[in-house]
């Protein structure tokens, strides 16, 4: 597919999303405090990746916030609430799942696309107990962000082009993919049991134990703990923060421990924001990340957001290697249609002690429509 055709197809997908009627999934309620709500989103994107020698244009699903559908059931029992959540990705071709040699299947669903099959019991006095496929306690702790551009730019810098291989300076494709060199050590989702405390003046403490129930012949076990903080009323400022640690054991691989934290602060009168994150794996590398954002209300459509960010990592693939990435992004909300249209550019720079690699870059243009 040439770039003009790919761009036109992406524009058509964006126009379709914007032209679609705005609605949220309906909520059905019973007479005993119960409800059913369904929801979802579509996030098509045009991806153009330049590996320093060739450019590859793809129509993809944005892996940073993939297309999905789900429903929630809620039933009150006095002061307590029982909740059930089912959510699955739709199985469209992901932006981090294509590479120089393959575009993969346009649509391919299997059980690993299931995101949540989650039962929760939310008590009035003792916190929340969860069981099933869902977020570990450390899921999302690297992603504190108040910039408004998180749909296409964030600490998970490999989401835009993680499957592509770096080229060596001699022009050959290497065995190092973007996702190998750029990672955030975030917790993710597993089949798990989890406990979250009540909110104590903005603080919530969490712990979980999980295993990968969606993959066959897998004995991975992960234990983690986390603490998060949110305060929207700090005078002219709002603050989000999170810190967590995870321990993972799996036959055939070395045990590992990840420590990750992030903080985001916004000056609400001006719309300026700053986010920072850092993470370390005891048997591998570490990284630091910073993002500056700005949000304004320039049009009646909705808020307009911009950001610039920088990622610096080391020892991710091999001892002594280095990985840097910077990116810029713009997101325009269209409130009446629950749409966020975006355009982003990112560069990747990776080197190790024995090889020099060409810099690469990616453009992402698309829209997320929530329903």
- Contact status, residue 244 vs residue 207, Cβ threshold 8 Å: no
Strand partners, 289: 277, 311
Strand partners, 149: none
Q: How far apart are CA 97 and CA 93, in angstroms?
A: 7
Q: How far apart are CA 126 and CA 164, in angstroms?
A: 46
pTM for this predicted structure:
0.91
Number of domains, the chain = 1
Reply yes or no on whether the pLDDT at 22 is more than 70: no
For position 133, what pLDDT does the model report?
A: 98
Phi-psi region of 140 (alpha: psi -120 to 50; beta: other; left: phi over 0): left
For position 25, what pLDDT does the model report?
A: 66
Per-residue pLDDT tens digits for 241-269:
999 999 999 998 999 999 999 999 999 99
CATH of the domain at 61: 2.40.160.10
- Contact status, residue 178 vs residue 226, Cβ threshold 8 Å: no
Specify the long-range contacts of residues 235-239, CB closer than 8 Å, at least 24 apart.
236/267, 236/268, 236/269, 237/265, 237/266, 237/267, 237/268, 238/146, 238/265, 238/266, 238/268, 239/263, 239/264, 239/265, 239/266
For position 24, what pLDDT does the model report?
A: 54
For position 5, what pLDDT does the model report?
A: 37
Domain housing 151: 3-370
Q: How far apart are CA 300 and CA 17, in angstroms?
A: 19
The count of residues in the chain is 371
Cβ of 23: how many Cβ atoms within 10 Å?
9
For position 334, what pLDDT does the model report?
A: 98
Q: How far apart are CA 161 and CA 56, in angstroms?
A: 11
For position 7, what pLDDT does the model report?
A: 41
List the Cα angle 211/217/218 in 5-degree steps. Answer: 25
Residue 237, phi then psi, degrees to nearest 5: -125, 155
Instruction: Determine the average pLDDT of the residues in 93-112.
Output: 96
- Give the pair of three-digit tokens for residue 218: 């897998």
Instruction: Determine the average pLDDT of the residues in 219-243.
Output: 97
Cβ of 124: how many Cβ atoms within 10 Å?
10
Q: How far apart are CA 189 and CA 210, in angstroms?
A: 8
For position 340, what pLDDT does the model report?
A: 98
Task: With cut-offs at 50, 70 and 90, classify the pLDDT of residue 79.
Answer: very high
């Amino acid at each position: 597919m040439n770039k003009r055709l790919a761009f036109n197809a992406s524009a058509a997908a964006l126009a379709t999303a914007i032209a679609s009627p705005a609605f949220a999934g309906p909520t059905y309620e019973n007479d005993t405090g119960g409800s059913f709500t369904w929801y979802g989103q579509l996030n098509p994107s045009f991806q153009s990746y330049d590996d320093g020698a060739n450019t590859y244009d793809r129509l993809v699903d944005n892996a940073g916030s993939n297309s999905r559908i789900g429903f929630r059931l809620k039933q009150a029992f006095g002061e307590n609430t029982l909740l059930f959540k089912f959510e699955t990705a739709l199985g469209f071709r992901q932006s981090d799942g294509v590479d120089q040699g393959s575009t993969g299947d346009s649509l391919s669903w299997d059980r690993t696309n299931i995101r949540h099959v989650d039962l929760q019991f939310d008590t009035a006095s003792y916190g929340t107990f969860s069981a099933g496929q869902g977020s570990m306690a450390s899921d999302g702790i690297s992603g504190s962000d108040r910039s408004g551009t998180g749909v296409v730019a964030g600490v998970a810098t490999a989401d835009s082009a993680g499957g592509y291989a770096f080229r060596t300076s001699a022009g050959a494709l290497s065995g190092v993919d973007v996702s190998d060199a750029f990672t955030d050590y975030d917790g993710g989702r597993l089949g798990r049991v989890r406990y979250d405390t009540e909110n104590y003046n903005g603080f919530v403490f969490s712990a979980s134990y999980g295993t990968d129930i969606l993959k066959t012949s897998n004995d991975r076990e992960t234990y983690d703990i986390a603490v998060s903080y949110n305060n929207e009323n700090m005078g002219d400022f709002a603050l989000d923060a999170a810190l967590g640690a995870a321990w993972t054991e799996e036959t055939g691989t070395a045990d590992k421990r990840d420590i990750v934290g992030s903080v985001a602060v916004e000056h609400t009168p001006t719309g300026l924001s700053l986010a920072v994150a850092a993470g370390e794996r005891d048997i591998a590398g570490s990284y630091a990340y910073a993002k500056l954002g700005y949000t304004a209300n320039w049009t009646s459509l909705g808020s307009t957001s911009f950001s610039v960010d920088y990622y610096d990592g080391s020892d991710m693939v091999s001892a002594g290697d280095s990985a840097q990435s910077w990116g810029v992004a713009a997101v325009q909300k269209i409130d009446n249609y629950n749409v966020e249209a975006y355009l982003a550019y990112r560069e990747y720079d990776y080197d190790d002690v024995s090889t020099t690699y060409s810099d690469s870059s990616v453009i992402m243009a698309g829209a997320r429509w929530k329903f």
